[in-house]
Amino acid sequence: MRFLLASALLAACAQSPKTAVSDDFSGLDAKADSFSYRMKIVGSIDYGHASSSTKYTKTPRYRAFKFAGNAGDHVDVWVRSTDGGDAVAWVLDNGFHVLGSNDDADATTTDAHVTVTLPANASATHYIVFRDYYTDTAHFTVDLADAQPYDTSCHTDADCIAVDAAGCCPDGTNVAVNANAADAYAAFAVCTMPPQTCPQHVVVETRVAQCNFATNHCQMIQPEDIHCGGFVTTQHTCPENFTCHFNGVPDAGGTCVPTQP
């Protein structure tokens, strides 16, 4: 019966489009007690992976997966139903601001497809949020891909370099890519838009390129936020003019501090 209903809805969409979705997440606060009444985080997902089937019910209204993304990542998300649900999906940053959204990917499906390039000032933590259009009970899978045409994979910090983010309005920010992907990123970042007036401010980039061992992707990070040393197989080292400072237990690692003159 559910599949027959979904087919009928698809036919109806061609004749009378559904009302546009305009959900607002600006009031969400992951630390607030009320958060669980609006959204349930059901897990984390990495690039190149798909989730297992997740049951959706109208309480709470949204389900979400967390993922780690870097500035400049071209994120490609599919949310599909396994039993006739009508997916609506959003990609949010760590402050729950909408970066991209979709209801129906095209006229032939009620699956949701979101593509978005993560902005330069984005935090590493992002969310894929979804619900059923009618808030009916359904099951959904989430597929996360990094569709960018340049490589950010890494296994050590030496695999990563920082390159000018460029684009149509370069502002001094850098992007972390694989050391062999500088030319590929430069080709990707070429501006194809007509001449435009750009902001005159220039960022003083103090971050450095580092390999995130949790995701095996390069990222930009402030030296003071690096966890250096430690009794681990692969260690982070401090950049030039910084020294690894241990807080009494060298095996546990330390933080990078400016080298004293």
Name the pTM for this structure. 0.56
pLDDT for the residue 122: 66
**Domain assignment present for 121:** yes
| pLDDT class of 14 with cuts at 50, 70, 90 | very low
- Indicate the residue type of 8: A
Is 95 found in the same domain as 68?
A: yes
Is 29 found in the same domain as 132?
A: yes
Per-range mean pLDDT, top range of 89-98, 150-159, 207-216, 224-233: 89-98
Is 115 found in the same domain as 190?
A: no
Contact 10, 18 (CB under 8 A): no
Is 87 found in the same domain as 44?
A: yes
Which stretches within the chain are classed as H helix?
2-15, 35-38, 182-188
Is 90 found in the same domain as 33?
A: yes
Question: What's 64's domain CATH number?
Answer: 2.60.120.380
| pLDDT class of 144 with cuts at 50, 70, 90 | very high
Domain limits for position 142: 2-146
- The tens digit of pLDDT for each residue in 82-134 reads 899 999 999 999 999 999 999 999 889 999 999 888 887 667 899 999 999 99
Which residue among 85, 120, 146 closes a domain?
Answer: 146
Q: How far apart are CA 256 and CA 156, in angstroms?
A: 17
More confidently predicted of 213 and 178: 178
What mean pLDDT is predicted for residues 13-34? 80
Closest CA to 152 of 91, 71, 206: 71
Closest CA to 130 of 167, 192, 182, 87: 87
Q: How far apart are CA 91 and CA 47, in angstroms?
A: 14
**Domain assignment present for 66:** yes
Residues in the chain: 261
Is 141 found in the same domain as 20?
A: yes
pLDDT at 214 over 80: no
Which residue among 104, 121, 146 closes a domain?
Answer: 146
Which residue among 112, 146, 180 closes a domain?
Answer: 146
**Domain assignment present for 178:** yes
**Domain assignment present for 179:** yes
Q: What is the per-residue burial (b if ≥16 Cβ within 10 Å, else e) of 81-96?
A: beebbbbbbbbbbeeb
Is 216 found in the same domain as 125?
A: no
pLDDT for the residue 16: 54
**Domain assignment present for 152:** no
Domain count of the fold of the chain: 2
**Domain assignment present for 183:** yes
**Domain assignment present for 151:** no
Torsion of CA 211, 212, 218, 223, to 10 degrees: -70
Does residue 60 have a cis peptide bond before it, meaning omega lies within 30 degrees of 0? yes
Is 167 found in the same domain as 138?
A: no
Lookup: tokens for 143? 């597929």
Is 161 found in the same domain as 69?
A: no
pLDDT for the residue 8: 47
Is 133 found in the same domain as 199?
A: no
Is 118 found in the same domain as 199?
A: no
Is 117 found in the same domain as 7?
A: yes
Contacts of 104 (CB under 8 A, 6+ apart): 13, 18, 86, 110, 111, 112
Q: Mean pLDDT of all residues in the chain?
A: 87
pLDDT for the residue 147: 63
**Domain assignment present for 189:** yes
